[in-house]
Each structure stands twice: as structure tokens, then as C-alpha cells.
């Protein structure tokens, strides 16, 4: 088991209102959020199964609105634990919150790679359903829904 630095343990243990206060202070003082996201990267890698770090990331990303680096970071965390509920939940939130067709379109290749590694990864199967049928750009609904069902049933 690797040692976790004290600041990571401390920041991960802050109560919800402490993290919210930190975020509100950053916003009120117009502090750059990118360094906070770098710190959040460290915290998330150290404690990927705590919702608190993922919630703090959501707050930061709502302000930053730059999903591409976050999706890459999320994929990196999934490599370490491809069945982590919090990681998948955050990814789905990010896709739905940003809701860009190109981001949705790039998800199936990721899922297919993960399923090739482990066909029993229920989290990846769930994400595949989410991407195919519940995405915000409505790909998989309307005119192309029959095509999507055929693809998924093949």
C-alpha cells in the first residue's frame, strides 16, 4: 500500500461545506481554477472512490467548461480501476453537462476497448447503453433509433 501525503488525506476529509467554501472563495477572488484542478487531480488519484473529490471536480469544470482534458483524465483513472462507479458517474455527468456531439461520438470506441479487456465490466456496458440511448444530442433516438438498436443487438 502506498503512502498518501498528509495534504491529500486532509483535503479528502474536508466536510462538504468546507469544500464548497473553498470553491466559493476561489470564484469570489477570481483565482485561477486550473491550479485547483491540478490539485484535484492529485486528490482524485489518491482517493478515486470518494464522491467528494468528484463533486469538487464538477464545481471546477462547471466554471472552466473545458471537457477534453477532463475526459482524458477520467480515462486515465479508468485505466487504474475500470469499474469505479464514481469515475463512470462523473464521465456521464460531464458528457450530459457539456452535451457536444463530437464528445458523445468518441465514447463508443472507449467502451469497446474496455469491453475487449473485460467483457464482464458491467460499468462499461451501462455506459454503452447511456451513450447509445440517453445522450443529450439525441443520437440513437428519432430517425436513427432503429439503426442504433440493430447495432446494439448485433
Greater model confidence, 50 or 19: 50
Q: Which residues participate in catalysis according to the annotation?
A: 49
User: Residues 70, 92: contact at Cβ < 8 Å?
Assistant: no
The pTM (predicted TM-score) of the whole model is 0.81
- Residue found by looking up cell 462523473 in the block: 90
Instruction: Check residues 92 and 9 and name the one with the higher pLDDT.
Output: 92
- Closest by alpha carbon to 152, among 130, 131, 132, 122? 132
| C-alpha cell read off for 66 | 473545458
Who's near 20: CB < 8 A, 6+ residues apart? Answer: 59
Amino acid at each position: 500500500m502506498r503512502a498518501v501525503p498528509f495534504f491529500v488525506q486532509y483535503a479528502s476529509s474536508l466536510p462538504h461545506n468546507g469544500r464548497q467554501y473553498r470553491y466559493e472563495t476561489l470564484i469570489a477572488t477570481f483565482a485561477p481554477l486550473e491550479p485547483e484542478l491540478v490539485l484535484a487531480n492529485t486528490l482524485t488519484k489518491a482517493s478515486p472512490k470518494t464522491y467528494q473529490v468528484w463533486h469538487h471536480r464538477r464545481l471546477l469544470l462547471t466554471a472552466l467548461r473545458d471537457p477534453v482534458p477532463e475526459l482524458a483524465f477520467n480515462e486515465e483513472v479508468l485505466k487504474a480501476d475500470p469499474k469505479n462507479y464514481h469515475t463512470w458517474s462523473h464521465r456521464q455527468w460531464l458528457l450530459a453537462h457539456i452535451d457536444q456531439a463530437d464528445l458523445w461520438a468518441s465514447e463508443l470506441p472507449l467502451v469497446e476497448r474496455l469491453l475487449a479487456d473485460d467483457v464482464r465490466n458491467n460499468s462499461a456496458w451501462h455506459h454503452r447503453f447511456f451513450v447509445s440511448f440517453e445522450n443529450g444530442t439525441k443520437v440513437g433516438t428519432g430517425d436513427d433509433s432503429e439503426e442504433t438498436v440493430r447495432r446494439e443487438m448485433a
